[in-house]
Amino acid sequence: VYACFVTPGGTGYKAIILHDNCEPLYHYDLYGQLVKLFDCPWIDKSTTDLARGNYLSYDPDLWKNPSPVPFHFVPGTPEPVIPNTMTETVIRDVQGEPVLVQDESWVEGFLNQLNKQVISDDSIIRILRKAWNGKSLSNGRNNTAMSYAGILCKAGVEPGKAKAFIEELIPGFDITEIIEYAYANNIFGCERMRYRNRK
């Protein structure tokens, strides 16, 4: 546990947990493991989604662990299992009061499908790290870096992350101009969906 604090309403607690899971698609697996670990009977079942990870605390007595140890996540399944969730939207009633209503089935279906198609830059880099073994360096550092930068651009990986990854593979070689050229001359993200089934 990294920190613990009282909710703004004063009726519950929030805990911030450090972990080493880098794949957003495994969020529900991670969440389930943490619920089992802490075995708390008062878990708020409405807060399982990843989007609720951002939270502001105004608790003056917030407790911060002086030496937190990250929870080591081991996936429970070879592929992420993403549950279909009921989606809701806040609307205003005739008096102007906010009311929570369940989304129509097509909206819910669309949002659940979208959730299953998410793949992070880090996931793409992990996929490519397995494939790029250094043999292509026989083509020369410049050509290899240019090829890698183009692939990462088309995969939709943010330029700073792409640069750091390539510099890790080809140390001691300045690729700033190569990254700029590759990202200016390729269609950013045009092949990102190709990586979705290779996680």
- State the pTM of this model: 0.47
In 10 A of CB 173, how many CB atoms? 13
**Other CB atoms within 10 A of residue 29 CB:** 19
Tens of pLDDT along 70-122? 999 998 887 776 665 555 566 677 787 777 666 566 555 655 565 556 678 88
Summarised one tens digit per residue, pLDDT across range 155-176 is 999 999 999 999 998 888 899 9
- For the chain, report the end-to-end CA distance as a whole number of angstroms: 29
Write out pLDDT tens, residues 9-62: 777 788 888 898 877 778 888 888 888 888 877 776 666 655 555 566 777 888
DSSP state of 24: G
DSSP for residue 90: E
Tell me the average pLDDT across 117-137.
Answer: 77
Count Cα neighbours of 127 within 13 Å in the Cβ-side half-sphere: 18
Taking the C-alpha atoms of residue 90 and residue 84, their distance in angstroms, rounded to an integer, is 20
